[in-house]
């Protein structure tokens, strides 16, 4: 009971995503942070206000954290399909070059 | 990237890179903003009197008291990356030995904040122009002195110095060929400090004027000197409001 609960807590904290999701997350934060940097500079330069630049950059960064860090469903669209376990398929079966070893 | 911790670390790590690059671009963008400062600096009066470096000192030194007129427009130094400008006037005169470099001493200074700089008691507050003889107030094209609208315009007439000057010899009377020069140090929000220059660098033009004619320090005044007071900046109040 306690173990199940702890497992759930650990899963929630770890917030794992699948491999395609990891690639997507990396692309997303790169694009978002560069875009927020560019927008922040242009906004600050146009308004001649260095504070606007700072706050725009921080807002873009906060948005990036929000998009990338939680395990959103679109990061888990390609779950890994594992091979069936030994217990179900009955005994260990290892093949080397097409020949059955065990 | 599989877990939340790793994603936080990666996003933060790349954020620091982006922040640094943006800061460098901001610093570089200041060099594309044109600057054309101009100033006229004139010596009004110079007196030399004997005094002591501090109250308990038995050493008597000669101190020069320099009054000046300054009419400066350095508003173009305030680009979007300027936080404040430290403006100061330096008196330069040759040392007694020709082999030694000339002596330089600051006579007056001011911290000019940009419109966005947070208020601080040490910042310079430009005096209002004195009323005319007939009691009418001088009408200026109003925002010229205002810190918020257009900082960097200074009009001072017969200004008292902030500091009386002397040097390590303690003798300043009858020294010859001294000049006053206006200088500054621009302190940006991000990027390098820049100082007054007498050369053009791209759109940053050299300061026009800002150098007084050569003058000689007079003899020591024997009798009690007339008005040799100095003015105090906000920093002279040592943290207490002016």
In this predicted structure, what is the pLDDT of residue B58? 87
In this predicted structure, what is the pLDDT of residue A57? 96
In this predicted structure, what is the pLDDT of residue B143? 37
CA distance B175 to chain A (A): 47
Q: What is the ipTM of this complex?
A: 0.81
Q: Say which range, B10-14, B73-77, B108-112, B133-137, has the weakest mean pLDDT.
A: B133-137
Count of CA atoms in the C-beta half-sphere (13 A) of B98: 0
Per-position b or e across A31-61, b if 16+ CB within 10 A of its CB? ebbeebbbebbeebbeeeebebbbebbeebb
The token duo for A70 is 């939680």
Any idea where the domains of chain B sit in the sequence? 1-32, 35-241
CA-nearest residue to B115 within chain A is: A49
B184, pLDDT greater than 60: yes
Confidence of residue B65 (pLDDT cuts 50, 70, 90): very high
Inter-chain residue contact B22 with A53, CB threshold 8 Å: yes
CA-nearest residue to A66 within chain B is: B8
CA-nearest residue to B24 within chain A is: A41
Q: Which residue has the tokens 């140090």?
A: B185
In this predicted structure, what is the pLDDT of residue B167? 87
B154, pLDDT greater than 80: yes
Give the separation between CA B173 and CA B233, rounded to whole angstroms: 27
Backbone angles phi, psi at B16, to 5 degrees: -65, -35
Confidence of residue B228 (pLDDT cuts 50, 70, 90): confident
- Judged by a CB distance cut-off of 8 A, whether residue A29 touches chain B is yes
Mean pLDDT (chain B) is 86
> Measured between beta carbons, which residues in chain A are less than 8 angstroms from residue B190?
50
- Judged by a CB distance cut-off of 8 A, whether residue A15 touches chain B is yes
Identify which of B81, B143, B141, B87 has the alpha carbon closest to the alpha carbon of residue B114: B81
Q: Say which range, B25-34, B161-170, B176-185, has the weakest mean pLDDT.
A: B161-170
Q: Say which range, B111-120, B167-176, B221-230, has the weakest mean pLDDT.
A: B221-230
In this predicted structure, what is the pLDDT of residue B224? 60
Percent with pLDDT over 90 in chain B: 55
In this predicted structure, what is the pLDDT of residue B64? 93
Give residue-wise pLDDT tens across range B36-52.
Answer: 999 999 999 999 988 88
In this predicted structure, what is the pLDDT of residue B236? 74
Q: How far apart are the first and last CA of chain A?
A: 39
Give residue-wise pLDDT tens across range B89-124.
Answer: 999 999 888 888 999 999 999 999 998 888 888 888
Give the separation between CA B170 and CA B182, rounded to whole angstroms: 24
Please tell me whether residue A62 adopts helix, strand or coil conformation.
Answer: helix
Q: Which residues of chain A have pLDDT under 70?
A: 87-93, 101-102
The DSSP code sequence of B62-80 is EEEEEEEEEEEE-GGG--T
Top pLDDT among B157 and B237 is at: B157
In this predicted structure, what is the pLDDT of residue B239? 57
Name residues whose C-beta falls within 8 Å of residue B11's C-beta, 6 or more positions apart in sequence.
A29, A33, A61, A64, A65, A68, A69
Write down how long chain A is: 102
């Amino acid at each position: 009971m306690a173990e199940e609960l702890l497992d759930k807590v650990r899963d929630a904290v770890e917030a794992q995503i699948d491999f395609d999701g990891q690639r997507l997350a990396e692309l997303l934060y790169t694009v978002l942070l560069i875009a927020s940097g560019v927008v922040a500079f242009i906004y600050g330069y146009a308004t001649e206000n260095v504070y606007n630049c700072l706050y725009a950059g921080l807002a873009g960064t906060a948005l990036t954290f929000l998009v990338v860090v939680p395990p959103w469903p679109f990061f888990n669209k390609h779950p890994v399909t594992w091979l069936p376990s030994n217990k179900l398929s009955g005994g260990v079966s290892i093949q080397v070059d097409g020949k059955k070893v065990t | 990237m599989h877990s939340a911790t790793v994603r936080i670390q990666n996003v933060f790590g790349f954020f620091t890179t982006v922040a640094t690059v943006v800061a460098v671009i901001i610093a570089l963008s200041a060099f594309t903003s044109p600057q054309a400062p101009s100033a006229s600096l004139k010596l009004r009066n110079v007196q030399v009197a004997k005094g002591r470096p501090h109250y308990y000192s038995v050493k008597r030194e000669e101190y020069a008291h320099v009054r000046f007129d300054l009419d400066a427009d350095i508003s173009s130094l305030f680009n979007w990356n300027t936080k404040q400008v430290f403006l100061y006037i330096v008196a330069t005169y040759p040392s007694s030995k020709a082999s030694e470099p000339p002596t330089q001493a600051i006579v007056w200074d001011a911290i000019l904040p940009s419109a966005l700089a947070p208020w601080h008691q040490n910042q310079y507050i430009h005096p209002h122009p004195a009323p005319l003889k007939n009691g009418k107030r001088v009408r200026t094209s109003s925002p010229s002195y205002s810190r918020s609208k257009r900082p960097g315009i200074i009009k001072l007439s017969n200004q008292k110095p902030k500091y009386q000057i002397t040097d390590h010899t303690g003798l300043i009377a009858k020294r010859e060929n001294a000049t006053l020069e206006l200088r500054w140090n621009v302190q940006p929000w991000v990027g390098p400090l820049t100082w007054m220059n007498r050369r053009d660098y791209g759109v940053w033009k050299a300061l026009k004027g800002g150098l007084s004619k050569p003058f000689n320090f007079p003899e020591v005044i024997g009798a009690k000197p007339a008005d040799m007071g100095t003015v105090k900046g906000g920093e002279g109040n040592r943290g207490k409001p002016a």
